[in-house]
Structure 1
Amino acid sequence: MGIQHPKYKVAAVQAAPAFLDLDASVDKTIAYIEEAAASGAKLVAFPELWIPGYPWWVWLGTTAWAIRKGFVQRYFDNALSYGSPEADRIREAVRRNNITAVIGLAEREGGTLYIAQWLLGPDGETLAQRRKIRSTHQERTVFGEGDGSDLAVHDTELGRLGALNCWENILSMNKYAMYSQHEQIHVASWPSFSTYDPFAHALSYHVNNAVSKVYAVEGSCFVIAPSSVFSQEMLDMLCDTPDKLDLVHVGGGHTVIFGPDGSPLCDKLPEDQEGILYADVDLGIIGVAKNAMDPVGHYSRPDVTRLLFNKKSQRVVEHMALPINQVDTEGNEQEDSVSS
């Protein structure tokens, strides 16, 4: 008898966030976790910055305008801290529904926010808490950055699971670092594709859906790519002048799921429609895809090109101790140190 490869259903959320409302964001997250689990999914993936929504004001106006309008304060106050009661509610919902979840969030730690993805196992325990390693363009006015330790793939009962946010999925070296860890299931979380359309093609769903498709083919892995919806409520809140209405539109949801050969595994929803997309995963077909191209195996040429990858977590403070002099019981001076 041959190897029995894992087969299961995955879910990708396409919806508008409960914008700038942490409590409502948690409620909506739990509702989608429950819906996905009830439909038989073993993994549910959410868009980038699902909690409490993407800070679209960074693309629509100045930082001074955003501060005066109160967006900066509200966003900080409604970001998620992992040690909070709100985070505990999400953990419990994941455990109760016996499902693996990848949740996009604005993580608050101290006085800094991070574009984060929280990977939770079906027991509600944390698999990873990762941060986007480089915020994109205007996002740098809001968020700090992660480090090489956040380019990680994790062993789970569903296979080797990894995740990246938005344009992290474009950069070749990011991708190669993930491929080198033999990733099988990849969550590519995106915001809404609703700004600067049609004059900024690089920000369009055409390009970024293609990025997810290429990631699947290049890595010979399944790619689940949830994206959010820009709602009429958000439009009314953010667009206080006619020029802003020219920069964004309602919709922008273009969630996709691809197989290891790049084939689409589900039909798309209309861009302004909320819902969950589902697809069936069979890890066995990864071996067939890698027979043609394994980017870190038989299709690699390390004698020609290779990646220098620093996986060490970077800390702003390294605790240390200065040596002190001690005298032993015989009166001899010894050098020792105080542990921190």
Structure 2
Amino acid sequence: MVSYKNPVIAAVQAAPVLFDLEKSLEKVKAYTKKAADKGADIVVFPESFLPAYPRGLNFGAVIGSRTDAGRKDFARYAKQSVAVPSRATEILGDIAKEHQIYLIIGVTERDAEWSDTTLYCTVLFFAPDGKLLGKHRKIKPTASERLIWGEGDGSTLPVFDTPFGKIGALICWENYMPLARAYMYTKGVQLYFAPTADARDSWQATMRHIAMEGRCFVIGVNQYVTKSMYPNDLASYDELETAPEEMCAGGSVIVDPLGNIIAGPVWGEEEILVAELDLDKITEAKYDFDPVGHYARNDIFQLYVNEKRQTPRAD
């Protein structure tokens, strides 16, 4: 049995400087330092932290029509998004290296290889030496998210082996996809990160269910966002007219492998949730239920996953 160190996890419930990549990177620096000062080995930020999860905006789109104002806001959003690799990823790597932590952060990724304009909802994983370990692209954006984000494929569903256990992530409502979760379990995920934009009470039940189902630690991390944080010079700012002042209340939470909440949930403020995880709890939890071991019934059920990278041309 591999021996892992018990990690200190820091889940950063905060908002970026919306639609401003440079200032948001400064906020990542500041919050990572605070987390590292609290002893964190792994620091995780919410879904699409860079440059923003554009809650409340529709970018001027209705069925059969788009507006010029919406196109301008989308172009602004795309320009502030994160190409991989880029100066922004170098800065993130430097932050991880400076504090000797694993940095896991949600970004809106701009396709740097094929189109330079197609965007993806992505999680980036950085090691303590600053290296970009890899990324996960959201495989199914939800509802109106599909107006702004493309779909990832099976080539970016990684689980990384670290001194603190095997780490991986699914984003927001991907966590409602049973086969996606099952795939994570088959890869041995022990620290399961769930960056999200869902602040509903029902999300808490999801985090606890996944922890019990996967017999893993689950770290759900969300933003805290108010309407006053939005730049008022957005071309389609009027789309926010009826939005409440508190647009995302948070609800970040850390759950152990038996579904017990060990930190959070925290609501209504920016906060860093910190917890030391006892990895022996995973083995203890799997004593009576192991989803890919003695409880799997592989003679009945088989999971097929297409991990092939999909490209716009056949090479």
TM-score of the aligned structures, taking structure 1 as reference length? 0.84
Taking the aligned partners of 2:207 and 2:68, their CA distance within structure 1 comes to 32
Aligned to 1:305, the other structure's residue is in SS state coil
Aligned to 1:209, the other structure's residue is in SS state helix
Contact 1:66 1:72 in 2 (8 A): no
Aligned with residue 262 of structure 2, among 265, 270, 287: 265
Taking the aligned partners of 2:281 and 2:105, their CA distance within structure 1 comes to 26
TM-score of the aligned structures, taking structure 2 as reference length? 0.90
Aligned with residue 222 of structure 1, among 203, 217, 235: 217
Taking the aligned partners of 1:242 and 1:42, their CA distance within structure 2 comes to 38
- Structure 2 spans left out of the alignment, 5+ residues: none
Aligned to 1:114, the other structure's residue is in SS state strand
Q: Corresponding residue for 1:282?
A: 278
2:119 aligned with 1:113? yes
Aligned to 1:254, the other structure's residue is in SS state strand
Q: Corresponding residue for 2:291?
A: 295
Aligned to 2:309, the other structure's residue is in SS state coil
**For residues 169-188 of structure 1, what are the structure 2 equivalents within 5 Å?**
169-188=175-194
Q: Corresponding residue for 2:161?
A: 155
Cα offset, 1:230, TM superposition: 1.8
Determine what percentage of the aligned residue pairs are the same residue: 34
Cα offset, 1:77, TM superposition: 0.7
- Structure 1 spans left out of the alignment, 5+ residues: 194-204, 320-340
Aligned partner letter, 1:79: S
Taking the aligned partners of 1:317 and 1:61, their CA distance within structure 2 comes to 31
2:105 aligned with 1:103? yes
Distance 1:208 1:239, change over 3 A: farther
Aligned with residue 244 of structure 1, among 242, 255, 273: 242
Contact 1:239 1:245 in 2 (8 A): no
Distance 1:65 1:262, change over 3 A: farther
Q: Corresponding residue for 1:124?
A: 130
Aligned partner letter, 1:34: K
Contact 2:16 2:52 in 1 (8 A): yes
Taking the aligned partners of 1:313 and 1:176, their CA distance within structure 2 comes to 20
Taking the aligned partners of 1:14 and 1:262, their CA distance within structure 2 comes to 21
**For residues 134-149 of structure 1, what are the structure 2 equivalents within 5 Å?**
134-149=140-155
Q: Which has the larger radius of gyration?
A: 1
Aligned to 2:308, the other structure's residue is in SS state coil
Q: Corresponding residue for 1:48?
A: 47
Contact 1:48 1:165 in 2 (8 A): yes
Taking the aligned partners of 1:231 and 1:58, their CA distance within structure 2 comes to 13
Q: Corresponding residue for 1:166?
A: 172
Measured against aligned partners, the alpha-carbon deviations of 1:33-88 in whole angstroms (never above 9, x if no partner) come to 11111110000111000001112244596363584483211101100112322221
Report the number of matched residues.
305
Cα offset, 1:219, TM superposition: 0.4
Taking the aligned partners of 1:305 and 1:85, their CA distance within structure 2 comes to 45
Q: Corresponding residue for 2:96?
A: 94
Distance 1:57 1:65, change over 3 A: farther
